[in-house]
Amino acid sequence: MRHLMSPLDFSVEELDKLLDIAQDIEANPAKYAHACEGKKLATLFYEPSTRTRLSHEAAMLNLGGSVMGFASADSSSASKGESVADTIRVISCYADICAMRHPKEGAPMVAAQHSSIPVINAGDGGHQHPTQTLTDLLTIKSLKGRLNNMTIGLCGDLKFGRTVHSLINALVRYEGIRFILISPEELRLPEYVRHDVLDRNNVPYEEVVRLEDALPELDILYMTRVQKERFFNEEDYVRMKDFYILDKQKMKLAPEDMYVLHPLPRVNEISVEVDDDPRAAYFHQAQCGVYVRMALILTLLDIHVD
Ligand code: NCD
């Protein structure tokens, strides 16, 4: 049985295959409409979410399956003190596959160890967010036609942003990838990612503070929200939250074929005036999230559609 804890759980070849399935789903949705009939997805969300939970549910519903779950720890037995290990043993009796989001790093891994159904890590603290990474890869591939030979700007909260950590892990496996890490000093990419992932794989990167300096060089700009919930005090958050605001003026510095991605939710880091720019790809990205999660559910349940 397979789980998805990190994007590295799939080889590059397996990832390519998964993205191919996602693209086929986009082109031929009807072919997949009954692929998961009789199957149930449980969504166990101990931390708030809109897109990640609902896109997993939409994915299962699009495949003809059904869904159940909880959207906050307060409405589950976690509030009575039940452990993740016990919860997942029980859920294994009810569902065929589950997606779990948890504020504690490693909680979905504990669940996977006690589960008899595939577990998808839907975000664990500041650690990883592999299904967002699959979404990001599909989005980049659909816009650029490739995942190699690119300069990718990652901007905002690189310290606490789990989507950034997961995306870096996944992209270093492709040829010719270079990163520009754009963040305030306090929100720099953690040493364990910079050293263990970038340096160890000899991936070129630069760290800059000003977004304007990086923009002209980018193929992809990946904007992120300052992760309020992971700050230790309110003042630091308030000081950091509007550090970057991408607006029409700054977009003039970017190449014509540079796309803007954002895992969403956005707060102030992308001005709404950018939404009409043909390079704004974040809502397209949210749509890609459904196709890729459909492909993921099929892959983890070992269901083949031809
Ligand atoms: C991201 C997350 O939860 O880490 N959201 C998402 O899943 N699309 C990004 C964020 O919350 O900033």
The tens digit of pLDDT for each residue in 278-304 reads 999 999 999 999 999 999 999 999 999
User: How far away, in angstroms, is 46 Cα from ligand 1 center?
Assistant: 14
The residue ranges of DSSP E strands in the chain, in sequence order, are 40-45, 66-70, 97-102, 119-124, 150-155, 177-182, 205-208, 220-223, 259-261
Pocket of ligand 1 (CB under 6 A): 51-52, 123, 129, 132, 162-163, 224-225, 263-265
Q: Three-state DSSP class for 161?
A: coil
Tell how far the Cα of 264 is from the centroid of ligand 1, in angstroms: 6
**Are the beta carbons of 95 and 60 closer than 8 angstroms?**
no
The three-class DSSP label of residue 115 is: coil
Confidence grade of residue 151 (pLDDT, cut at 50, 70, 90): very high
Active site (annotated) includes residue 129: yes
Is-catalytic flag, 52?
yes
Q: Tell me the binding residues for carbamoyl phosphate.
A: 51-52, 101, 129, 132, 264-265
> Can you tell me the distance from the alpha carbon of 6 to that of 214, in angstroms, rounded to the nearest whole number?
28
Give the mean model confidence (pLDDT) for residues 108-137. 97
Q: What is the pLDDT of residues 51-92, one digit of tens each?
A: 999 999 999 999 999 999 999 988 888 888 899 999 999 999
- In this structure, of 43-52, 87-96, 138-147, the range with the lowest mean pLDDT score is 43-52
Residue bearing the CA closest to ligand 1, atom 8: 263
Please confirm, yes or no, whether 80 is among the known catalytic residues: yes
pTM listed for this prediction? 0.96
Whole-number average pLDDT of the chain = 96
Residues annotated within a binding site = 51-52, 80, 101, 129, 132, 162, 225, 264-265
Residue 119 has pLDDT above 90, yes or no: yes
Reply yes or no on whether 101 is catalytic: yes
In this predicted structure, what is the pLDDT of residue 306? 87
Q: Long-range contacts of range 279-286, CB-CB < 8 Å, 24 or more positions apart?
A: 279/251, 279/254, 281/139, 281/143, 282/223, 284/139, 284/142, 284/143, 285/135, 285/136, 285/139, 285/261, 286/51, 286/55, 286/135
Ligand 1 nearest-atom number relative to CA 52: 7
Please report the atom of ligand 1 found closest to the CA of residue 161.
4
Which one of the listed residues 3, 56, 129, 293 is annotated catalytic?
Answer: 129
Percent of the chain clearing pLDDT 70 (strictly above): 100
Q: Is 200 an active-site residue?
A: no
Ligand 1: residue whose CA is nearest its atom 12: 225
